[in-house]
Amino acid sequence: MPLEEYTRKRKFEQTPEPPAKVESKAGHRFVVQKHDATRLHYDFRLEMDGVLKSWAVPKGPSLDPADKRLAMQVEDHPVSYFDFEGIIPENNYGAGTVMVWDVGTWRPLSPVPVEGKYVPGTDAEAAAMLAKGDLKFRLKGKKLNGDFALVKMKGRRPGSKGNEWLLIKKHDDYAVEGYDIDEYDESVLSKRSLAEIAGDEGSREWKSRPAAGRGKLKAAWLADAVAKLDRKNLDKNNLDKKKPAKNNQAVQTAPKKKRKS
């Protein structure tokens, strides 16, 4: 059953993450989430077959073709996960802070380059490339753009789970030599840093900051996602006012050591 593992790992009465639901509409969105769990990593997710195919990338994606980033394939996530930003509570799977680091759309590339250049492919080709372990695609995001490949590692090391891939930027106009992901600690949905989302610092500043400072969002679905997040934050701020202050403290300042993922 699709998303079975996703559901098995989570306690939905505790986590704010969305429940499992397979989308019937075909879509080509992608999201990269920065996730401060037991160990900081980035989750790279491609919308395929009504779910988000997902890889955990410890060092995060890079625009430098010289970087071959280890990417561990993890359980499929529901498509609605693409705009999940917030805090997964202590003692839950993946406990920690999640930022929507990048969003956009992707398209499959044909496995066979034409005159040395990659050209758009079909969904059927993408499914075959994924099964074969060599998925080529083009991203159109706010931070990530251009051609990439996810390549499954064949030589299995002892103790490996067989879920190891490499995320590699292809050479094109969007390649950036020496790309440093740490320079971009900002949510594409809320403009907040990871620390601001966690409430460690600057959360007061966030609450008073007008939502208009985000620039124009061209894609309708992205505008929807931002509007949804605004409503969530508004609800949360209203709740915060009603709740006794010490409840908030307990959630926001709990020690990092206890996190599990």
Please give the positions annotated as active site. Answer: 170
**Total residues found in the chain within this entry:** 261
Judged by CB, which is closer to Mn ion: 170, or 192? 192
Distance CA 178, CA 63 (A): 8
Distance CA 66, CA 219 (A): 31
Q: Does 77 bind Mn ion (CB under 5 A)?
A: no
Candidate segments 13-21, 34-42, 101-109, 187-195, binder of Mn ion by CB under 5 A: 34-42
Judged by CB, which is closer to Mn ion: 33, or 145? 33
User: Any idea what DSSP says for residue 180?
Assistant: -
Closest listed residue to residue 105, CA positions, set 33, 50, 30, 169: 30
Closest listed residue to residue 119, CA positions, set 132, 137, 141, 104: 137
For Mn ion, how many residues bind (rule: CB under 5 A)?
2
Judged by CB, which is closer to Mn ion: 93, or 174? 93
Bridge partners of residue 152, in order along the sequence: 165
Ramachandran assignment for 49, one of left (phi > 0), alpha (psi -120 to 50 degrees), beta (any other)? left
Pairing of strands 96-108, 86-88: antiparallel
Distance CA 36, CA 46 (A): 20
Judged by CB, which is closer to Mn ion: 10, or 35? 35
Q: Does 10 bind Mn ion (CB under 5 A)?
A: no
Single out the residue of 36, 43, 67, 164 in contact with Mn ion (rule: CB under 5 A). Answer: 43
Candidate segments 12-20, 29-37, 99-107, 184-192, binder of Mn ion by CB under 5 A: 29-37
Distance in Å, CB of 51 to Mn ion, minimum: 16
Q: Does 36 bind Mn ion (CB under 5 A)?
A: no
Single out the residue of 10, 29, 34, 35 in contact with Mn ion (rule: CB under 5 A). Answer: 35
Q: Return residues touching Mn ion (CB under 5 A).
A: 35, 43
